[in-house]
Structure 1
Amino acid sequence: MESTARILLIGGPGSGKTTLIKAIEDKGYTVHHEISREITLKAQKQGIEQLFLDDPMSFSNQLLEKRIEQFHRADSGIHFYDRGIPDVPAYHKSTKDPIPESYYEASKKHIYDQVFFLPPWKEIYESDNERYESYDQAVTIGKILTDFYESLNYNVIRVPKLPVAERLDFILRTLKID
């Protein structure tokens, strides 16, 4: 039976995660896409402009549930994730909202095999309907994310600011896969 490897991409908004995860998918790897936009869009259809701002606990509870489902969807082989379970409590640290103990428990129970951090990158940062954070907030979120993952004993690997293909090569070389 083939083993399972869960590889996580983290970073603040506007760091190139979505573009990189698409390149990974195009290379034939299994990816689990970011789901916060899906939750935000669903809420907007119900008349809630920014669920994360209007009801952060509802947003986070839905996000945590969906990320746990994604985690368990991994069968065998290499799985890449655009954001992970510990991102949920880390974002609460950034907003100074209370963090339920269940968020910590879920973060400790569901372990990823490797975590890659994409730092904020001013030249590629764009805001849109679902991204309300400024670039400066993205920098702060990035620091909180790396600190939080390291507090959970992850060795967070920083991905250099390079063209997408070179970022992908960096990750695959680091993982010793082609």
Structure 2
Amino acid sequence: MKRFILTGTPGSGKTSVLRALADRGYDVVDEAATAVITQAQERGEAEPWSQASFIDEVVGLQRQRQTRASSTATGIQVYDRSPICTHALSVYLQRPILAALSLELNRIAHEQIYERQVFFVRNLGFCEPTAARRISFKDSLDFERIHEESYRNFGYELVDIPAGKLIDRVDMVENSISRFVLRTPSGGENGAHLRSQGTSEDQHSQE
């Protein structure tokens, strides 16, 4: 099983890339944070990300979706975000790295859940707000930087997907997946260099 992560700042067009990959036959796993926000807003919570339980809820849904998808699929999967994104979100929201997230970060490193190469969808030069995405373009650039730092700090290799036409971005991801799958044997080096959550001192140094 090869599990690739697709990430980027809000409004980057990441979800459009994911949907296009699904149309091409790829097994994709949707973003957890958006689902948590949408469900909470349907219950009448205007800003669920301000709740103390928000990060834990995202972590729980991410793990549930990853383990469920992995139990039924074979071959290649593309994930819309990962627990590394949740780490970046915690840093952005100035939240401490709590036990649930720390344990999940350790698990995905120890079990080498995701491929080391991560597709980083770059910003489009603007950010359109939605009910679940209330962030200015300026703040989205800060969020993009924090995401990049989190992934690099945990030992992942970023594959830039620059702004451009959707079909070109999708082709770039698909061609890169083909290259990575061909060059990396099963059980190969991907994940071998990934770092676990580490000590609490390491955690605070990243916030």
**TM-score w.r.t. length of structure 1:** 0.90
Pick which of 34-43 and 138-147 moved more.
34-43
Q: Which amino acid aligns with 2:57?
A: Q
Residue in structure 2 matched with residue 43 of structure 1 by the alignment: 40
The correspondence of residues 3-152 of structure 1 with structure 2, limited to 5 A, is 4-53=1-50, 55=51, 57-72=52-67, 73-74=69-70, 75-110=73-108, 111-113=113-115, 114-123=117-126, 125-152=127-154
Q: How does 1:144-163 map to 2 (within 5 A)?
A: 144-163=146-165
> What is the total number of aligned residue pairs between the two structures?
172
Q: Which residue of 1 aligns with 2:178?
A: 176
For the 8 Å contact 1:86–1:103, the answer to whether it is kept is no
Identity of aligned residues (%): 25
Q: Please state whether the residue corresponding to 2:119 is helix, strand or coil.
A: strand
Residue identity matched to 1:104:
S
Partner Cα separation in structure 1 for residue 57 and residue 99 of structure 2: 16
User: Which whole-Å CA distance do the structure 2 matches of 1:102 and 1:62 have between them?
Assistant: 9
Q: Which runs of 5+ in 2 are unaligned?
A: 182-207
Q: Is the alpha carbon distance of 1:103 and 1:35 closer, same or farther for their aligned partners in structure 2, counting shifts above 3 Å?
A: closer
Q: Deviations over 1:16-35 (max 9, x none)?
A: 11100000000011000112
Match of 2:139, as an amino acid? Q
Measured after TM superposition, the shift of residue 101 of structure 1 is: 4.0
For structure 1, list consecutive stretches of 5 or more residues without a partner in the other structure.
none
| Equivalent-residue separation in structure 2 for 1:24 and 1:45 (angstroms) | 28
* CA RMSD in angstroms, aligned pairs only: 1.6
> Residues of 2 paired with 1:116 and 1:126: CA distance?
21
**8 A contact 1:29–1:80 mirrored in 2:** yes
Q: Which moved more, 1:141-150 or 1:36-45?
A: 36-45
TM-score normalized with structure 2 length: 0.78
In structure 2, what is the Cα distance between the partners aligned to 1:155 and 1:25? 23
DSSP-derived class of the 2:53 partner = helix
